[in-house]
Structure 1
Amino acid sequence: MTSIHSEETRLRDEIVEVGKSLFDRCFTFGSTGNISARLSTGEMLMTPTNASMGSLDPGRLSKFTAEGVHVSGDKPTKEAFLHQCMYCARESSSAVVHLHSTHAVAVSILDGLDPDDVLPPLTAYYVMRVGRLPMAPYFPPGDTALAEAVRDRARDSHAVLLANHGPVIAGKTLKEAQYAMEELEETAKLFLMLRGERLRPLSTHQAEALRSP
């Protein structure tokens, strides 16, 4: 029991730390976005609704059972199902980060991109930390029909871009999910900066070599 309590305390503190780091560096703003972490018991901690990531309280995080039932903490975000469907599709994941980060959202609004892989492999670190980025179609905020669309795409990719909404990324650890999210946002920024220029992304062979175990 002590070790489980210690694990939960550590994860609560880590969620607060990561949330403030993302907020302070303008990866998120207002009360947008949410973070979750899964305990070894299968229980889940998540940032609550209408909470700024810049001022989270570890004791007020929403807590869910392994079955997804809210049992304590503040009222959960209406996007809790996004995290739950990511965990269902990515069983090895222990954390999920969802943001409305500016450049990734801008890319999600562009027409004519490949919905199976939205961003080209511009850098090695993008390929290693994000890989492929499929895009789920638009659904209104809180629409649980989005869960099925995300789950389908998350089976083959730990990162999914939601059309006209923002990215959601699962990781084996919260730091892994955070770093992948930051790499995605910076690559989206590069992509937008370079639109109209002749690009020289990594070749298929170069990208596949980075994805190999």
Structure 2
Amino acid sequence: MSTMISTGRDEAALREQIAGYGRSLFDRGLTAGNSGNISVRLDDGWLLTPTNACLGRLDPARLSKLDWEGRHVSGDAPSKEAFLHRAMYEERAGAGAIVHLHSTHSAAVSCMCGLNHDDCIPPLTAYFVMKIGRLPLIPYHRPGDTALGSAIRERARNHGAMLLANHGPVVSSASLDAAIHAAEELEETAKLFLLLRNTAVSPLNPEQINELKSTFNLDL
């Protein structure tokens, strides 16, 4: 990994933050059972929620720690989707955290036919554009299939968020706070998208999107 960013916070604080956000996501029904995973970049590697862990009951001291070669350094065994996170980090030097959920509405959209694979949810709100931008759909891969890493790597060069077909969303951002908020915004927009399926809608037009880009200095 040639380019890394500093977390700006010590590892102990980040471990607590991961556990706190995991509990919040679980309590609000944005992840169920032992689904989903969260990671955060460190100066000497990255933290990841363990395999088969419930995000609602994470022990900060037992989070997995990996180096930039993907080797398990300490803590419980990492999620089998560690390669997914590593691919995103390697392609997005500015990514400080990644959130992968099986949140209901986003996962429902990922199962639909006829989606635009380059932009599978329209720009229904300014906040979706600001936090997510364009959302590509990654073709289906079975859980744990490392070929998914290559598919994610290709899209991650230009997209900080994506939807895995028949699976759920993957969202990266500069910090864990920002990644969580973006994942929440994606889930709410997916809900709107499903509610409006049989209704004529008026998504933001290119001029409105360009105004957001210019005003908020967005890299979309």
Output the TM-score relative to the length of structure 2.
Answer: 0.92
Q: How does 1:117-196 map to 2 (within 5 A)?
A: 117-196=119-198
Say if 2:53 is the partner of 1:37: no
Identity of paired residues, percent? 57
AA partner of residue 118 (structure 2): D
Are 2:66 and 1:55 equivalent residues in the alignment? no
Structural RMSD (CA): 1.1
Among 29, 40, 60, the alignment partner of 1:26 is 29
Report the 3-state secondary structure (helix = DSSP H, G, I; strand = E; otherwise coil) of the residue aligned with 1:44: strand
How many Å separate the matches in 2 of 1:187 and 1:207?
16
Kindly state the Cα deviation for residue 75 of structure 1 after the two structures are TM-superposed.
Answer: 1.1
2:14 alignment partner, one of 4, 11, 14: 11
Measure the CA separation in 1 of the matches of 2:113 and 2:25: 28
Match of 2:3 in 1: none
Kept after mapping to 2: 8 A contact 1:131/1:211: no
Size of the aligned set, in residue pairs, is 208
Counterpart CA distance in 1 for 2:124 and 2:156 is 22
Give the Cα–Cα distance (whole angstroms) in 1 for the partners of residues 73 and 60 of structure 2.
15
Q: Map 1:61-100 onto structure 2 (within 5 A).
A: 61-100=63-102
Residue type matched to 1:67 in 2?
E
Which runs of 5 or more residues in structure 2 are unaligned?
1-6
Amino acid at match of 2:125: T
Contact 1:36 1:45 in 2 (8 A): yes
User: Could you report, residue by residue, the CA deviation over 1:146-183 in whole angstroms, capped at 9, with x for unpaired residues?
Assistant: 00111111111100100001010111000000000000
The 3-state SS of whatever aligns with 2:18 is helix
Amino acid at match of 2:184: E
Normalised by the length of structure 1, the TM-score is 0.95
- Does residue 197 (structure 1) correspond to residue 199 (structure 2)? The answer is yes
Mapped to 1, the partners of 2:72 and 2:14 lie a distance apart of 17
Structure 1 residue 67, shift from structure 2 partner = 2.0
* 1-structure distance, mates of 2:162, 2:62: 28
**SS across alignment from 2:10:** helix
* Matched AA of 1:12: R
Unaligned runs of 5+ residues in structure 1 are none
